[in-house]
């Protein structure tokens, strides 16, 4: 039993004692490695876009053929992006891909994801501007993530991770697949 596992169980037990009707257990967590990862992988992420989406992204960043440098420059202004912005949508998709599909040796690249997923959580939801601080912007363009602990599925989620698969909500799966 890892420290994280016993810590999660202790927190859940404490919350259940204090709030007996509480049934949903989720975190609001940072994504500390996203910006560095995207700095190395932005070009590959742009290549995943279909022609229509690539053209939309190009128009949003003011070029015909968007490259990694254009996305990264636009991402620096993440907090000012409108909800419908192609750059914002692209950053959300990249974050979902990073959390749900970026693995090394079958484990998530992101250290916080590795902790929560290793303890049986699933990647539930991205939160745009969840951390608008300078540190939040420097780590993840201000995005944060919810990890959901479904007590009935913790063992299933751990088993998935042991197979090199990340438990994720439908929303995260869809975003990460660039659909």
Answer whether 104's CB lies under 8 Å from 170's CB. Answer: no
To the query of whether residue 116 is one of the catalytic residues in this protein, the response is yes
Q: Angle 34-47/86-101 helices, nearest 10 degrees?
A: 110
Q: Which of 29, 70, 137, 176 is catalytic?
A: 29
Would you say 95 and 34 are in contact if contact means Cβ atoms under 8 Å apart? yes
* C-alpha span between 156 and 170 (Å, rounded): 16
Determine how β-strand 122-127 pairs with β-strand 144-149: antiparallel
Q: Under the phi-then-psi rule, with left for phi > 0, alpha for psi from -120 to 50, and beta for the rest, what region is 142?
A: left
Nearest Cα neighbor of 49 from 58, 40, 38, 36 is 58
**10, 80, 85, 116: which one is catalytic?**
116
Spatial contact of 31 and 99, defined as CB atoms under 8 Å apart: yes
Catalytic residue numbers read: 29, 116
């Amino acid at each position: 039993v890892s420290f994280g596992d016993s810590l999660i169980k202790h927190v859940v037990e404490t919350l259940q004692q204090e709030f007996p009707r509480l049934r949903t257990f989720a975190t609001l967590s940072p994504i500390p490695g996203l910006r560095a990862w995207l700095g190395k992988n932005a070009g590959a992420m742009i290549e995943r876009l279909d022609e229509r989406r690539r053209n939309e992204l190009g128009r949003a960043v003011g070029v015909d053929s968007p490259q990694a440098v254009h996305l990264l420059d636009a991402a620096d202004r993440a907090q000012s992006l409108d909800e419908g912005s192609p750059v914002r949508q692209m950053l959300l998709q990249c974050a979902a891909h990073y959390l749900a599909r970026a693995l090394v040796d079958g484990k998530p690249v992101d250290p916080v994801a590795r902790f929560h997923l290793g303890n049986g959580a699933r990647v539930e939801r991205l939160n745009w501007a969840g951390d608008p601080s300078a540190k939040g912007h420097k780590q993840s363009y201000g995005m944060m993530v919810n990890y959901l602990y479904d007590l009935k599925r913790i063992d299933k989620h751990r088993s998935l991770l042991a197979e090199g698969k990340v438990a994720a909500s439908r929303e995260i799966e869809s975003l990460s697949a660039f659909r």
